[in-house]
Structure 1
Amino acid sequence: MTTALVSALTNIPVRADVAMTGEITLRGEVLPIGGLKEKLLAAHRGGIKLVLIPEENVKDLAEMPDNVKNAMEIMPVRWIDRVLELALERTPEGLPDEDVKEEAKAAPVADPAAATSEIIKH
């Protein structure tokens, strides 16, 4: 989901030959998941060439048949920035500091007194 959001906001497509699984923390760390064997088997059946898995799930690869492990590249990842490097067709570029400062100046500031006058008391 995170990769899809970044793709949509940056107009950078996600590679079609990549599958991924994992949970992302608010700080961008990729957390382990359950059911890795089933997910990798489904990716294999779907013809996926690269699968990104949480680093902490590497131990679960011992349960996988060798023919499945050899048919695709399984890449352990720990941080979302690495996921984006591997999954997107190109790396998103950050905005220069000058652009961010100009946009921040241009944003209108609401009058807090006006907001309180619209409160309806019950």
Structure 2
Amino acid sequence: IVRGLAWTRVGGTTLSVEVNCMPGEGKFRVTGNLGKVMTESAEAAVSYIRSQNERFKLEPDFYKKKDIHIHIPEGATPKDGPSAGVTMATAIISALTGRKVRNDVAMTGEITIRGRVLPIGGLQEKVLAAKKVGIKTVILPKENKKDLDEIMDEIKDGMQFVLAETMEDVLQTALVKGEKDA
């Protein structure tokens, strides 16, 4: 389970992204009342992971032998938008490799199939949502630095912000240290 940050019409919120990987035939499911953009982000995350299978110590054909199920609870609330890619990729990598994700971290950012982290909107609302639930570290796209600089220091007080350009940057912060190397 990885905590993502989302923008809504009434402010920011946190989203738990759950992933289960189990022996299977390569089925891929995304559930939780997600829109097309978020479903495509999940697919991009899987493509990125497949392209990096050696780095994550995964069999080249792991995707043929594992079923991957991504679920974002609170199914009655529609969810869509281009900012959950890094969260889904991190959750999938964690599930496939057995590496745990820090529970004091939340993240936002879109992912490309090559692992680049793309900018997002609604950063202030997302940071407020993270602060409200006690998140100490927020991972966000490096291209959103100017937006971060515009947020009042009182809001950012007590929080650490990690500016990510690539999924490698995200994983360096998000994954628990001392676990199996990914």
TM-score, structure 2 normalization: 0.49
Residue correspondence of structure 1 range 30-109 to structure 2 within 5 A: 30-90=117-177, 93=181
By percentage of residues, which structure has more helix?
1
Distance 1:78 1:92, change over 3 A: farther
Deviation of 1:43 (Å) = 0.3
Residue 6 of structure 1 pairs with residue 93 of structure 2: yes
| Separation in structure 2 between the aligned mates of residue 79 and residue 27 of structure 1, nearest angstrom | 9
Match of 1:19 among 106, 111, 115: 106
| Separation in structure 2 between the aligned mates of residue 13 and residue 93 of structure 1, nearest angstrom | 11
Ranges in structure 1 where 5+ consecutive residues have no aligned partner: 95-122
Ranges in structure 2 where 5+ consecutive residues have no aligned partner: 1-87
Deviation of 1:63 (Å) = 2.8
Amino acid at match of 2:181: E
By percentage of residues, which structure has more strand?
2
Deviation of 1:39 (Å) = 0.3
After superposition, the C-alpha distances for 1:87-120 in whole angstroms (9 at most, x for unaligned) are: 01136536xxxxxxxxxxxxxxxxxxxxxxxxxx
Moved over 3 A (4+): 90-94
Amino acid at match of 1:16: N
| Separation in structure 1 between the aligned mates of residue 161 and residue 144 of structure 2, nearest angstrom | 11
Instruction: Flag the structure with larger Rg.
Output: 1
Amino acid at match of 1:93: D
Amino acid at match of 1:63: E
Question: How many percent identity over aligned positions?
Answer: 53
| Separation in structure 1 between the aligned mates of residue 114 and residue 149 of structure 2, nearest angstrom | 29
TM-score, structure 1 normalization: 0.72
The CA RMSD over aligned residues, in Å, is 1.4
